[in-house]
Structure 1
Amino acid sequence: MNRNQFSFIKTGATMLLSIVMLSGLLACGNTNSAGSATNTAGDNSSSTKSNPVTVKTAYAPFIGGIGIYALDDKKFDLDHNVDLKIGAFGATSPLMSVMTGDVDIAFTTLQSYLVSVNALIEEGSDISTLPKIVYLHNASTGADGIVADASIKSVADLKGKSVTAQYGEVTHYMLAKALATAGMTVDDVNLVDMSPGKGGAAFVAGSVDAATTFEPYLSQGTTARDGNIIISTADMKNTILDVVVVSAKNAKEKPEWLLNTLKAVEDATKYVNSDLDDAAKLTADDLQVSAEEVKAMYPTVHLYTMADNIEGMNEGGWLYTTMKDVVDFYTSIGTFKKPFDVKQLVSTDFLSK
């Protein structure tokens, strides 16, 4: 079974933008849904509740999305007078989809988001006009890691070994963070530039000593080569995470549909965390696996609660340290020309609303 079947795809994380700046599109942002929401904001009449606002999103169906599918299946969105429409990511990055209005709200990895933001800044965009992070959705807590040959027992043992990671992408960042736990850098290993899927397959085939990859390749590696998962995101808290992004216009204007969508997301998170058995049965078809497989995979992710959001996003929260670390890493390898102020990319206006 490959990761497409398990749907552990972090779609946006593998895309570097080649963008011609579309500043005019940012102003129109969420033409249809935002306009509808503006007309109904604050209106609690029965006629308003009979006409929920359509909110478009795109999400790669992996285990971190269990809350999104539970939200839709349990109709938590309709409870808050919004109708969330879930589509699949296409060739366009999540950030650009928000800017063009193809989606109203995007769930994307933090690394992908920052890479896309940097591309826009380098094209001449004012950082204050770019889409904002308004919520933390989920974190990898074991779904990603490094699987190594049986002779390699620790991160320190990777010195001089061939290790796969995709240059400039999230696995490259994860490898650097992992090596840092042993006082090492990527220069201490023989980096083999491969995508997570190809790297995992190369390790299973015996072509490399270790691979920075994801499930199911982590588990397959331990079986096929009697290998070891020497470190994973279970050991690196808040390293790989998905954030919720909306246009700068909607972050500023705080339309009712956006507030209500985030309330529905929080309701879905509470539901999954309180009744995983039921949530697994409900969302198995959405994730294209069995309910038992959903339950087995669920410990490899953490759905952030509102309390987590407040801790991470408020002044002095861990999110800003993580964002700065990602920016500094990409700057150090030359992907970014220079660092930027990450605090301008976060809106805390939606916490505890």
Structure 2
Amino acid sequence: MKQKKFGFIQTGATLLASVAMLSSLLACGNTNSADGSADAAGGNSSAAPAKSPVSVKTAYAPFIGGIGIYALDDKKFDLDHNVDLKIGAFGATSPLMSVMTGDVDMAFTTLQSYLVSVNALIEEGSDITTLPKIVYLHNASTGADGIVADASIKSVADLKGKSVSAQYGEVTHYMLAKALASAGMTMDDVKLVDMGPGKGGAAFVAGSVDAATTFEPYLSQGTTSRDGNIIISTADMENTILDVVVVSAKNAAEKPEWLLNTLKAVEDATQYIEGDLDAAAELTADDLQVSAEEVKAMFPTVHLYTLADNVEGIGEGGWIYDTMQDVVDFYTSIGIIKEPFDVTQLVSTDFLWE
């Protein structure tokens, strides 16, 4: 994997020292001169001198959904928009906390993880209006996640009374509950085995559970090693597992020019991939530590949201609000969220340019 953009996330005492230094750097760098806080539709004065690219730090968990981020870097779409994106792998600090501390300028995280973190901060006394905001939809799983079951289980309905792995309170738990609901069932109808997707997938391959809520490569391995069936996947469950782009409430409110420009670079990369997957796969294989052929094989299991998707998804009347409420309702039903909150306060639509 290329090292130039990775490895800046730190923890412990080193993180505290770094945050102090980064705070002062970000205060200077991300202002991007006097007009750095221009509104999202605004541009630079034609008389203004050329400015150096603004360094923008982001954190991402490497997987096929990140293909756009890596293509953006390799093709320099960021520099085309006067930003220099620095990609870091998540460390011990959660994506939301990394944004709040200023360790990163924006984070790509699952909707479920984001909402659970928001809830924890609200329970600790934070005002919801001060918490990081969703400003863009980035990607959705369209087959990369699913439930693999043994040969005797042909459908979700057949899971009744069976042992099924999923990690309690995490995205796999939510997905399993949604899958069961599609067959008129609830979590009470199965024997939940509390395991993460990796351990659960391995347990299924080993024959320890009847079914596993997991992801690739365990889905494929399960179908071959145990003659199993993928009885449902995110290909059948639209917008169930998705990544959103999150920034601080301050940046969402002040609308710095670098933020809009970064999202435009993300859109450019998405359009590039959709137009030439072969070339994009060659570019990003190194970053994902797989072959170009494997990148192309995995790509159909994710959907990269475009600007048009974002207008439809987070614009007025968009589907994201019902999805967010559904996630909140689920976590409320299992006791993780004790007091539901207004999800509409967590989305900014100010970065949907024309």
Q: TM over 0.5: same fold? A: yes
Gaps of 5+ in 1: 1-24
- Name the amino acid aligned to 2:263: L
How far apart are the structure 1 equivalents of 2:106 and 2:170? 23
How far apart are the structure 1 equivalents of 2:96 and 2:47? 34
Cα deviations across residues 204-232 of structure 1 (Å, max 9, x unaligned)?
00011000000000000000000000000
Query: Is the contact made by 1:29 and 1:100 (CA closer than 8 Å) also made in structure 2?
Result: no
Residue 278 of structure 2 aligns with which residue? 277
- Name the amino acid aligned to 2:211: A
- Name the amino acid aligned to 1:35: C
Residue 48 of structure 1 aligns with which residue? 50
The alignment yields a C-alpha RMSD, in angstroms, of 1.7
- Name the amino acid aligned to 2:53: P
Residue 3 of structure 1 aligns with which residue? none
Query: Is the contact made by 1:132 and 1:248 (CA closer than 8 Å) also made in structure 2?
Result: yes
How far apart are the structure 1 equivalents of 2:186 and 2:312? 30
The runs of at least 4 aligned residues of structure 1 exceeding 6 Å deviation read none
Aligned pairs for 1:75-154 within 5 A: 75-154=76-155
How far apart are the structure 1 equivalents of 2:32 and 2:55? 13
Structure 1 residues 222 and 261 mapped into 2: Cα distance closer, same or farther (>3 Å)? same
How much does 1:29 deviate? 9.6
Identity %: 84
How much does 1:352 deviate? 1.9
Structure 1 residues 46 and 315 mapped into 2: Cα distance closer, same or farther (>3 Å)? closer
Q: TM-score, normalised by structure 1?
A: 0.90
How much does 1:59 deviate? 1.0
Using the TM superposition, name which of 28-37 and 288-297 deviates more: 28-37
Query: Is the contact made by 2:32 and 2:258 (CA closer than 8 Å) also made in structure 1?
Result: no
Residue 6 of structure 2 aligns with which residue? none
How much does 1:39 deviate? 3.8
How far apart are the structure 1 equivalents of 2:203 and 2:27? 46
How much does 1:315 deviate? 1.7
How far apart are the structure 2 equivalents of 1:322 and 1:81? 34
Gaps of 5+ in 2: 1-18, 37-43
Query: Is the contact made by 1:30 and 1:104 (CA closer than 8 Å) also made in structure 2?
Result: no
How far apart are the structure 2 equivalents of 1:30 and 1:213? 38
| Count of equivalent residues | 327
Residue 36 of structure 1 aligns with which residue? 29
SS at match of 1:38: coil
How far apart are the structure 2 equivalents of 1:45 and 1:111? 45
Query: Is the contact made by 2:138 and 2:242 (CA closer than 8 Å) also made in structure 1?
Result: yes
Cα deviations across residues 283-339 of structure 1 (Å, max 9, x unaligned)?
100000000000000000000000000001012111000000000000000001121
Residue 187 of structure 1 aligns with which residue? 188
Aligned pairs for 1:1-353 within 5 A: 31-33=24-26, 35-40=28-33, 41=36, 42=44, 47-49=49-51, 51-353=52-354
Query: Is the contact made by 2:146 and 2:234 (CA closer than 8 Å) also made in structure 1?
Result: yes
Using the TM superposition, name which of 39-48 and 264-273 deviates more: 39-48
How much does 1:30 deviate? 6.0
SS at match of 2:30: helix
Structure 1 residues 231 and 349 mapped into 2: Cα distance closer, same or farther (>3 Å)? same
Structure 1 residues 311 and 115 mapped into 2: Cα distance closer, same or farther (>3 Å)? same
Residue 14 of structure 1 aligns with which residue? none
Q: TM-score, normalised by structure 2?
A: 0.90
- Name the amino acid aligned to 1:277: D
SS at match of 1:279: helix
How much does 1:36 deviate? 2.4
How far apart are the structure 2 equivalents of 1:256 and 1:352? 12
- Name the amino acid aligned to 2:31: T
How much does 1:61 deviate? 1.1
Residue 17 of structure 1 aligns with which residue? none
- Name the amino acid aligned to 1:257: W
